[in-house]
Structure 1
Amino acid sequence: MMKAIDLFSGAGGFSTGAEAAGIQVVQSANHWDLACEFYALNHPGNEPFCQDLQQADWSLFPSHDIGLASPCCQGHSIARGTDRPHHDIQRNTAWAVVGCAEYHREDAWLVENVTEFLNWTLYPSWLDAMKRLGYSMAEYTIDAADHSVPQHRKRAFLVFTRSKNPIELKLPERQHVPVHSVIDWDGFKWSKVYKPGRSPATIARIENGRRRFGHTFAAPYYSNGSGKTGRCINRPLGTVTTVDRWAVVRGDEMRMLQPSELKRVMGFPDDYILPNTRREAIKLLGNAVCPPVVTDLINAIKVAA
């Protein structure tokens, strides 16, 4: 069985997808103690290294064939808002991949990030460092919805292999899954749309959505993206973020989507354990990699390698 490590493992989406593809994840690592706690609960026997990976001792990581990594995306994402000094530090986390690859010389690496990562000023230098270690790189921009995840979530996936030329992957073409299929319509409390204290902007968005989609639809709880018009529930949801964003409207009632539903929107199994605190659960999910995408990618790498 091929072995992998998972850097910046977060909630464990990369590992979950890799394991579904028959890969044994022998070590994970992340700087956030909460993520490490829940990774360990969901992946018994794999206790994450909880540390800043820019200062990691790579000799402590066991032998493996594949490196999986999802370096911090906040310094690259257009959703970050006004730039802040800590974004420089977050962007630098990608260099941990180079450090690990220099020590272990894995057969392959699979690196995920937001698509803006490809516009990083130091991206050419980072890529050159991997090439100097003997890797060829194939770049893919993948929408999770194309892998039967009920969410439109475009991410860059970089496939590094120790081959003369980049490998060409033949990824499966899967049907889109509508978000209505993963919503628990009767399991949670709803509130009236028109109630005292409801924001006029929220009311306006709901009325716009109702004119466009009828009485039942999804809508983000602020005006970005689909926020002014709502979103049809017969298609995948928009991107799940680290903050509480998505609501569903049904007639004269509405409610926020719950972590158990967002877990399905991300492609995690129903029995995956999340924090009881809503804010922490959604932050973990919003930072995660969608497992079904990883499974399809690794299976395609196996065929092409």
Structure 2
Amino acid sequence: MEVYELLERALKQLSHKEVGLALGVDPKTVRRWQIRETEPKPYIADAIRQRLLPLGEPNPEPGRFSFIDLFAGIGGIRTAFEQQGGRCVFTSEWDPYARKTYAANFHDGRDHVFASDITQVHEDDVPDHDILLAGFPCQPFSIAGVSKKNALGRPHGFADKTQGTLFFDVSRIIARKKPRAFLLENVKNLVSHDKGRTFATIIDVLQNELGYQVYHRVINGKHFVPQHRERIIIVGFRDPVDFTWDGLKLPPFENAPKIGSILHREDGTEPADWPYIGGTKGKVLDKYILSDKLWDYLQNYAAKHREKGNGFGFGLVTPKDTARTLSARYYKDGSEILVSRGSRKNPRRLTPRECARVMGFSDDFRIPVSDTRAYKQFGNSVVVPVIAEVARIMVPHLLEEKKSTPAKRSRKAA
């Protein structure tokens, strides 16, 4: 049977546990299938194709522009720029589970470098590219005096200001490769971190030391998805352009989708092979419903803080609501987004597929990892439609500048 051939292909690359996670079954079940002790259900063949087997050959076309994807996570920023016709030529992500999800979702040829730790990659080994993309983590900045650095024979300038932080790896690559543009994404609090000094350092390095036109804006994912999620976007261009944020098309909040739009329909119309739903009606599995013990704890915790005048507590949502921000800690208790099942029933967590949807990923995005890993990955991701909208207004300036570059050089030579 074809299903056994597909299973063997998957097991050449993945362990029984990994295959089981992706298919929503126990590893022992996978072993029984492999030795043909039991027969997989008919939908398993399609599930293996969709979730576990390679996506096929990468697109041979060079793309309208090239980009690199640093601190890539599961590829949310990449997804947005590929929609604009870009081609990724280099990826860096240190987390092995995020790398697994990333690799399951993107066509990458032999010429594509996938580095694990960008701090260990020399900037000369990074391919040339038109745009640098980075959702870099923000670590505390320690700004030492230039005179002290000079006395010790150490570098100053941006190296002095950012050494020891992951932004340093972004800035050193920009300094060496001089891409036409960049996009950086971070939490909103980056602006106020260390009384604004961290953000001021970043802008100073990008604008005054690396010489880029820099623009930044805080955008709420709530414009596109049913989640309140504010993130700062920093974009920069190497050469003068007339970029402005005025071109952004942000749907009014009152017209934005509500949480009901991302929930499983539970009427039998969704793929029966998803590991998050079951039965003929496609009901969400019981494992996502909070236990009595956890639900009691969360209610008591919220009541205790209400008495003190605090706002701490769980976030219960109905299909007509907008959720709080999904975080990487969602796997612990799901408290920030709990789906109401009525006053007499315990609420439930979002499933990983619903988390993908609330971040703006399409339903064909593969989730080859455990629920715990998936929750962390989506909680750390970007809202894809937000980045896509920024990419939409960035790319025309990039292509215009790209076309004009030869002419600029010939005039300079003349």
What is the TM-score with the length of structure 1 in the denominator? 0.80
**Map of 1:60 onto structure 2:** 125
Separation of aligned partners in 2, 1:198 and 1:281:
21
Distance 1:124 1:74, change over 3 A: closer
Separation of aligned partners in 2, 1:28 and 1:184:
32
**Map of 2:210 onto structure 1:** 133
Q: Is the 8 A contact 2:190 2:198 kept in 1?
A: no
- Report the CA distance between 1:94 and its aligned residue: 1.2
- Report the CA distance between 1:8 and its aligned residue: 0.2
Q: Is the 8 A contact 1:241 1:286 kept in 2?
A: yes
Separation of aligned partners in 2, 1:282 and 1:193:
15
**Map of 2:236 onto structure 1:** 160
* Larger RCO, structures 1/2 (Cα 8 Å, 6+ apart): 1
**Map of 1:143 onto structure 2:** 220
Q: Is the 8 A contact 2:73 2:377 kept in 1?
A: yes
1:299 and 2:392 correspond:
yes
Equivalences for 1:279-294 in 2 at 5 Å? 279-294=372-387
Equivalent position amino acid for 1:14 in 2: I
Separation of aligned partners in 1, 2:120 and 2:192:
25
**Map of 1:94 onto structure 2:** 167
**Map of 1:172 onto structure 2:** 249
Separation of aligned partners in 1, 2:183 and 2:289:
44
1:181 and 2:267 correspond:
no
Distance 1:48 1:70, change over 3 A: farther
Give the secondary structure class of the aligned counterpart of 2:293.
coil
**Map of 2:97 onto structure 1:** 34
> Alignment identity in percent?
27
Gaps of 5+ in 2: 1-63, 142-161, 267-282, 304-309, 399-414
Give the secondary structure class of the aligned counterpart of 1:6.
strand
Separation of aligned partners in 1, 2:100 and 2:163:
21
In the alignment, which of 72, 96, 99 is matched to residue 9 of structure 1? Answer: 72
- Report the CA distance between 1:105 and its aligned residue: 0.4
Separation of aligned partners in 2, 1:177 and 1:241:
20
1:197 and 2:293 correspond:
yes
1:249 and 2:312 correspond:
no
**Map of 1:211 onto structure 2:** none
Separation of aligned partners in 2, 1:124 and 1:192:
43
Separation of aligned partners in 2, 1:44 and 1:199:
42
Q: Is the 8 A contact 1:237 1:265 kept in 2?
A: no
Distance 1:195 1:262, change over 3 A: closer
Q: Is the 8 A contact 1:75 1:90 kept in 2?
A: no
Distance 1:161 1:140, change over 3 A: same
Separation of aligned partners in 1, 2:72 and 2:163:
15
- Report the CA distance between 1:173 and its aligned residue: 2.3
Separation of aligned partners in 2, 1:284 and 1:229:
20
Distance 1:302 1:283, change over 3 A: same
Distance 1:155 1:138, change over 3 A: same
Give the secondary structure class of the aligned counterpart of 1:122.
helix
Larger Rg over CA atoms? 2
What is the TM-score with the length of structure 2 in the denominator? 0.60
**Map of 1:85 onto structure 2:** none
Equivalenced residues, count = 277
Separation of aligned partners in 2, 1:286 and 1:191:
20
Equivalences for 1:65-80 in 2 at 5 Å? 65-73=130-138
- Report the CA distance between 1:74 and its aligned residue: 6.9
Give the secondary structure class of the aligned counterpart of 2:388.
helix
Q: Is the 8 A contact 1:70 1:113 kept in 2?
A: yes
**Map of 1:124 onto structure 2:** 200
Equivalent position amino acid for 1:272 in 2: F
Distance 1:62 1:37, change over 3 A: same
- Report the CA distance between 1:282 and its aligned residue: 0.7
Give the secondary structure class of the aligned counterpart of 1:255.
coil
Distance 1:199 1:299, change over 3 A: closer
Could you say what the CA RMSD is over the residues aligned between the two structures, in angstroms? Answer: 3.0
Q: Is the 8 A contact 1:9 1:69 kept in 2?
A: yes
Give the secondary structure class of the aligned counterpart of 2:167.
helix
In the alignment, which of 219, 227, 235 is matched to residue 313 of structure 2? Answer: 227
Q: Is the 8 A contact 2:138 2:167 kept in 1?
A: no
Give the secondary structure class of the aligned counterpart of 1:125.
helix
Distance 1:194 1:24, change over 3 A: closer
Equivalent position amino acid for 1:162 in 2: R
**Map of 2:115 onto structure 1:** 50
Q: Name the stretch that deviates more: 187-196 or 47-56.
A: 187-196
Equivalent position amino acid for 1:59 in 2: D
- Report the CA distance between 1:149 and its aligned residue: 2.0
Distance 1:192 1:295, change over 3 A: closer
